[in-house]
Structure 1
Amino acid sequence: MKSDTADQHWNDQWNTIAADSKWLTPEPDVQDWAAGLTKGARILDLGAGVGRHALWLAAQGFDVVALDAAPGGLAEIDKAGGVDTVLARMDALPFDDRTFDHVLSWNVIYHGDEDILLRTIAGIRRVLKPGGNFMGTMLSKRRLPYEQAKYDGHEIGRNAWIFDAPETDKIHPHYFCTAAELLALFSGFECLQLEDREHEKPGSWHWHLTMEKLGSLT
């Protein structure tokens, strides 16, 4: 059964996005990360949404490709221009090996079961140049009790949960993990930064991570 289905929810969101939506503003963490990168570097924004990061990165002088499975978001990026867009799924990246200097994926790759996640991480590793880094977020297992207290849910596979939460993307699979589980998923990477951080809502714990592809790997 297909588990990376959250793009169905997000495509609807992108088709009706408000002008003051938070999904139009780049995250300070991403801006700080970009400040340490070489201008002109080639960056894949994996799960770009409506382009809040892809468009900002392009404006800073980076060579950016925005990939998403939701065409509604990519259409918004195309309207703005300046960024190549690719409609594809995160676990089947349509790029040659060692194509990108860096990969960004903010609040994206945890939307699926462990098989989807492992294929996605393997794809990120494959398209990164040796020494390139990945910046992204994952859901912390610290968050899971908060979701269980609010909604009925069940585990569809190891660490992957769906919840009875209509009108949200929680009806689609989400993957929750501990630090040890996360590090095991990112085989072939060196961990540069890992922080379990609560976002704006109580209990909204996310891992913030930066991983460097080990230089000897293809």
Structure 2
Amino acid sequence: MTTDTADAHWNAQWSNVSADSKWLTPEQDVIDWAKTLKPGARILDLGAGVGRHALWLAQQGFDVVALDAAPEGIEAIQAAGGVDTVLARMDSLPFEDQEFDHVLSWNVIYHGDERVLNRTIFEIHRVLKPAGSFLGTMLSGRRVPFELEKYEGREISRNTWVFDAPGTDKMHPHYFCSARDLLALFDGFEVRWLQDQEHEKPGSWHWHLIMERL
């Protein structure tokens, strides 16, 4: 049974994004990371949504490919123009080995169980050039008790939870991890930066990470 099903939720979201949506504004971490990259570097935005990062990076002069499994998101990026788009799943990337200088994946790769996550990280490593960087986020295990205070939930496999939260993507499997688990998953990478941060809501802990491909 596949567990990377959250794109069904997000596809519906992307079909009706308001002009003031936060999903149209690039994250400060992405802006800061981009300042460290060589001009014109080739970047894969893995799980690009409606293109808030892909489009911004392209405007800065980077060679960007936006990939997502949700057709509505891909269509929004295509309508904006200026970025190559690919409709595909994160654990089976249709690219050559070492095709990208860098990979970005913001709030994406934890949508699934550990098998999906391992395949996805393998694919990120495969398409990155040696010494290329990966900027991403993961869900922190510190977040699980906060979710359980709000919703009924169950752990369907190791570190993978679903919650009874209609109207949200929490109905789909999400992977939560400790720093130790995270580092084990990213075998083959060197840690450049790792921090556990709250997002907008109390208890919304995410690991923010920059990894360098060995």
- Structure 1 length-normalised TM: 0.98
Q: In the aligned structure 2, how far is the partner of 1:106 from the partner of 1:2?
A: 21
Aligned to 1:22: 22
Q: Partners in 2 of 1:70 and 1:213 — Cα distance?
A: 27
Q: For residue 163 of structure 1, report the CA deviation from its aligned partner.
A: 0.4
| 1:166 maps onto 2:156 in alignment | no
What is the root-mean-square deviation of aligned Cα atoms in Å?
0.4
List 4+ stretches of structure 1 deviating above 3 A.
none
SS of corresponding position for 1:112? coil
Distance in 2, Cα, partners of 1:104 & 1:77: 16
Give the secondary-structure state (helix, strand or coil) at the position aligned to 2:91.
coil
Give distance in 2, aligned partners of 1:157 and 1:62: 39
Quote the sequence identity (%).
73
- Structure 1, unaligned runs of 5 or more: none
Partners of 2:112 and 2:196 in 1: CA distance: 20
Shift of 1:124: 0.1
Instruction: State the shift of 1:186 in Å.
Output: 0.2
CA distance in 2, matches of 1:65, 1:7: 18
Offset from partner CA, 1:31-71 (integer Å, 9 cap, x none) = 00000000100000000000000000000000000000000
Q: Does 1:183 align with 2:183?
A: yes
Shift of 1:196: 0.2
Tell me how far apart the structure 2 counterparts of residues 198 and 169 of structure 1 sit (CA, whole Å): 18
Task: Give, in angstroms, the shift of residue 200 of structure 1.
Answer: 1.1
Residues 98-151 of structure 1: CA deviation (Å, up to 9, x unaligned) = 000000000000000000000000000000000001000000000000001110
Q: Distance in 2 between matches of 1:119 and 1:39?
A: 30
How far apart are residue 199 of structure 1 and its match? 0.8
Paired residue total: 214
